[in-house]
Amino acid sequence: MTLKDLAAHVAAEFEKHFGRAPRWIGAAPGRVNVIGEHTDYNDGFVLPMAIERYAVMAADSASVPGKITVHDVHFKETATIEISGAVTKGQPKWSNYIRGVLAGFQNRGVKLPALDIAFMSTVPLGGGLSSSAALEVCTATLIETVTGKIDPVEKALLAQKAEHEFAGVPCGIMDQFISALGREGHLLLLDCRTRKTELVPMSDPTVELLVINTNVKHELGSGEYAKRRAECEEAARIVGVHSLRDATPEQLEKAKGKMSEVVYRRARHVIGEIERTLHAAEAIRESNWPTAGQLMYASHYALRDDYEVSCKELDVVVEIAEDIGYKGGIYGCRMTGGGFGGCCVALVKASAAESITKKIAADYKAKTGIEAAIFASRPAAGATVVKAG
């Protein structure tokens, strides 16, 4: 569904539920990370793009003061959020992403208006495509449309804080940044230390990115993510650098004897991945797809073997991609996002995208018994005000 169609649908659902037309509509996309995994919280580089899957909110002022009411169009569930005091965590669980953002605006001194909101998202849940960042950035986009614009970087940071404090996931800055700052036709090379961004054009019509959802739910709250972060911090401390961004492979080798084998492998992934990300950005700038593809495979192997955040189903998808190979139109493939399930991303020849989709779907089903969901996406725009009131 295009953003225009989705916004029209959510507006119609708002009208059905609340009995009048919405005054404001805001949207924010999910993302797929092309390369640069588990580097953001190590001050490294990431190279994600926004995808044509969005969280959308349609809203109007509410007649009852002191409350924001959010109606989830898809799950037919309504959250009522008290805003007369400080916004707190509450039920239903999904409302915490929204609550966290509302609390962030309150902390900036914004007096929240009472609102009725209809909400829907086409970002697959638990697919590692940042459905939560899309919801957070969408909420922030709606609130700023009503109460006054904020800087997009501030907005991304506010959304990240919501994820930390209200969802309990100590994520880096990648997901909220790409959702807030993505640009159509471009990847975003983000330096997570300086927060400097560079838009890397990706509009060559001969290539496409396929997102392959293993339909194995990915869950970052389980503690493995926080564990990886702690292991990286330990490695940096032992090497004697502020973060792994500052460590060279030589420094790591020198310090190898002072750390556990696991911590060493975690650091080896991160240091290699930061290098691969810069290299891939360069390859993509030059439309050197074979090199970009090889770097994607290398990223997957390191995430699988050193960082240990892959899973059997993600590995199966990458193996199928390798079997299809360059001759069959695949340049590269890797798991994307936090891991432990979720999606792979494959860089493919556009002319072969359809046959590749069919082949991956059939082979994945045969090997795992699970139906994969596969779609192509062009790099989409970041957060959008669809209706400004």
Segment 338-367, which members bind ligand GAF (CB under 6 A)?
A: 338
Question: Using the 8-state DSSP alphabet, how is residue 287 labeled?
Answer: T
If one asks whether residue 182 binds ligand GAF (CB under 6 A), the answer comes out as no
* CB of 37 vs ligand GAF, minimal distance in Å: 4
Location of structure tokens 């556009």: 350
Q: Which is nearer to ligand GAF, 152 or 329 (CB)?
A: 152
* CB of 187 vs ligand GAF, minimal distance in Å: 15
What burial class does residue 99 get, using C-beta atoms within 10 Å of its C-beta: 0-12 exposed, 13-18 middle, 19+ buried?
buried
If one asks whether residue 41 binds ligand GAF (CB under 6 A), the answer comes out as yes
Question: What residue type is assigned to position 345 of the chain?
Answer: V
Beta bridge partners, 48, equal: 33
Q: Which is nearer to ligand GAF, 118 or 343 (CB)?
A: 343
* Cα–Cα distance list, 253 to 113, 218, 293, 300 (Å): 56, 32, 27, 22
> Which residues make Cβ contacts (< 8 Å) with residue 216, sequence separation at least 6?
311, 313, 314, 341, 342, 370
Alpha helices for 182-260 (secondary structure H): 224-239, 249-255
* Among 52, 72, 175, 363, interactor with ligand GAF by CB under 6 A: 175
Sheet of strand 207-213: strand arrangement = 330-336, 343-349, 207-213, 373-376
* Among 3, 24, 27, 37, interactor with ligand GAF by CB under 6 A: 37
Of 66-74, 79-87, 169-177, 237-245, which segment contacts ligand GAF by CB under 6 A? 169-177
Q: Which is nearer to ligand GAF, 169 or 386 (CB)?
A: 169
Of 65-73, 114-122, 168-176, 250-258, which segment contacts ligand GAF by CB under 6 A? 168-176
* Among 40, 60, 208, 363, interactor with ligand GAF by CB under 6 A: 40
CA dihedral 123, 181, 58, 338 (to 10 degrees): 30
**Total residues at the site for ligand GAF (CB under 6 A)?**
10
Instruction: State the Cα–Cα distance between residues 130 and 331, nearest whole angstrom.
Output: 24
The three-state secondary structure class of 140 is helix
If one asks whether residue 30 binds ligand GAF (CB under 6 A), the answer comes out as no
Cβ(132)–Cβ(55) below 8 Å: no
Cβ(214)–Cβ(374) below 8 Å: no
* CB of 164 vs ligand GAF, minimal distance in Å: 10
If one asks whether residue 53 binds ligand GAF (CB under 6 A), the answer comes out as no
3-state helix, strand, coil in the chain (%, to 5): 45, 25, 30
Q: Which is nearer to ligand GAF, 11 or 270 (CB)?
A: 270
If one asks whether residue 273 binds ligand GAF (CB under 6 A), the answer comes out as no
* CB of 68 vs ligand GAF, minimal distance in Å: 25
Bond before 379 cis per omega within 30 degrees: no
What burial class does residue 206 get, using C-beta atoms within 10 Å of its C-beta: 0-12 exposed, 13-18 middle, 19+ buried?
exposed
If one asks whether residue 32 binds ligand GAF (CB under 6 A), the answer comes out as no
Catalytic residues: 175
* Among 34, 120, 174, 271, interactor with ligand GAF by CB under 6 A: 174
Q: Which is nearer to ligand GAF, 112 or 188 (CB)?
A: 188
* Among 14, 38, 216, 299, interactor with ligand GAF by CB under 6 A: 38
Q: Which is nearer to ligand GAF, 40 or 306 (CB)?
A: 40
Q: Which is nearer to ligand GAF, 40 or 363 (CB)?
A: 40
* Among 172, 272, 332, 379, interactor with ligand GAF by CB under 6 A: 172
Which residues of this protein are in contact with ligand GAF, per CB under 6 A? 37-38, 40-41, 171-172, 174-175, 337-338
